[in-house]
Amino acid sequence: MKASGFVHGDPPALDRAGRAFLVLAASDCELARKAVRHWVSDAAELGRDAAALYDPTPDRAAEAVAALRAGSRILVAGPAAEAMAYTAAARQAGALPCELTTYVTSTATLTVFCPHCETTQRADARPGDRIPCAGCGISLEIRPHLSSHHGTYLGAVA
Partner 1 sequence: MTVTSDLSYLPWPFLEGENRFRYGVNVEPARRRVDTFAGGWGEHIVDLGPDYVEMMALRREILERDPHRVRYLPHMTPASWDLLMFYFREMAASYPDLMTLDRLGSGYRWRNEPLGIDCTFVPGDPETLPEHPLVFVACQIPDDVLLVTERDGHLYFDAAVVTSSADWSVKFDIGMSMHEIHRPVPGLTRDGVTDRAEQFLRRLTADQPYRRVNWTFSAVGSRRRDTSLETMPEWMDDIPRLRAEKDWGRIQLRIELEHLIRLPTTGAIVFNIRTYMAPLAEIAAYPQWAYQLADIVEELPREIAQYKGIDEYRMEAMAWLRERAA
- 132 contact partners, CB below 8 Å, separation of at least 6: 138, 139, 140
Note whether 122 binds partner 1 by CB under 8 A: no
Distance in angstroms (rounded) separating the CA atoms of residues 86 and 98: 15
4, 107, 109, 119: which one binds partner 1 (CB under 8 A): 4
Q: State the sign of the Cα–Cα–Cα–Cα dihedral 120, 143, 29, 134.
A: positive
- How many Å apart are CA 42 and CA 75, to the nearest integer? 13
- Cβ neighbourhood burial of 63 (10 Å; 0-12, 13-18, 19+): middle
Q: Is 1 in the site for partner 1 (CB under 8 A)?
A: yes
Of 15-23, 30-38, 61-69, 147-155, the window that binds partner 1 (rule: CB under 8 A) is 147-155
Q: Which of 115, 124, 126, 130 binds partner 1 (CB under 8 A)?
A: 115
Among 98, 108, 124, 126, binds partner 1 (CB under 8 A): 98
Assess 92 for contact with partner 1 (CB under 8 A). Answer: yes
Nearest Cα neighbor of 10 from 44, 36, 35 is 35
Using CB under 8 A, which of 15, 116, 125, 132 touches partner 1? Answer: 116
Among residues 105 and 152, whose Cβ is nearest to partner 1? 152
Number of residues that bind partner 1 (CB under 8 A): 25
46: helix, coil or strand?
helix
- Residues lying near partner 1 in the complex (CB under 8 A) are found at 1, 3-4, 91-92, 96-98, 113, 115-116, 118, 138, 143-150, 152, 154, 156-157
